[in-house]
Structure 1
Amino acid sequence: MLTFKFWKGTAIRAVRTFAQTFGAGSLGNGLDLWHLDWKASLGVALGAAVGSVLMSIDRAPQDPSEQDVLPTSPEAA
């Protein structure tokens, strides 16, 4: 879990989750950026990103020789 590859993948997933959640919140407002509740939208997106990091840590392999953080197919689980 303390490898560069793990933390790089975790950061990429967290940024993607943040962007997707923030984008969905903005679209839910009809793209009315003047009346968008920025604090709420950013708070929800940040919470989703933190959740993503926690899920990555929870699912981290115990054996450092394992390549993937998450299984890529149902058979790998």
Structure 2
Amino acid sequence: MGTIWTVSFWKATAERAIRTFAQALAAVLVAGTTNLLDVAWSAALGTAGLATLLAVLTAVGTAGIGPHGPGIMETPTPQAAPEPAAPSGQPAV
């Protein structure tokens, strides 16, 4: 549970939340109308806000599960090298 208490976690979560907000708002604007003056802005912003909240809750709910990243501000978690086998006295084939 320690991963949600790091600055890097919250930077990556903020990045995802902002990206989700922009994507959801763009989707509502494109799907709803072609004239920006006719947009029901409260509904569009509410939908984008809900999508943002879900992105943050998903990040918190999945913290510490599986490998991290990569987001723009992250680097992939390197995979651990396999443990070498203990010598058994037999030559390797």
Name the TM tier (shorter chain): 0.7 to 0.9
Specify the alignment match of 1:26 in structure 2.
29
Tell me which stretches of 4 or more aligned residues in structure 1 moved more than 6 Å.
Answer: none
Which structure's residues are more often helix, by fraction? 1
Q: Which residue of 2 aligns with 1:10?
A: 13
For the Cα contact (< 8 Å) 1:61–1:69, is it kept in 2?
no
* Identity in percent: 35
| Gap change, CA 1:57 and 1:69, over 3 Å in 2 | farther
Larger radius of gyration between Structure 1 and Structure 2: 2
Deviation, 1:68, is 1.2
TM-score when normalising by structure 1: 0.78
Partner of 1:61 in structure 2? 64
Alignment gaps of 5+ in structure 2: 71-75, 77-93
Q: Does 2:53 match 1:46?
A: no
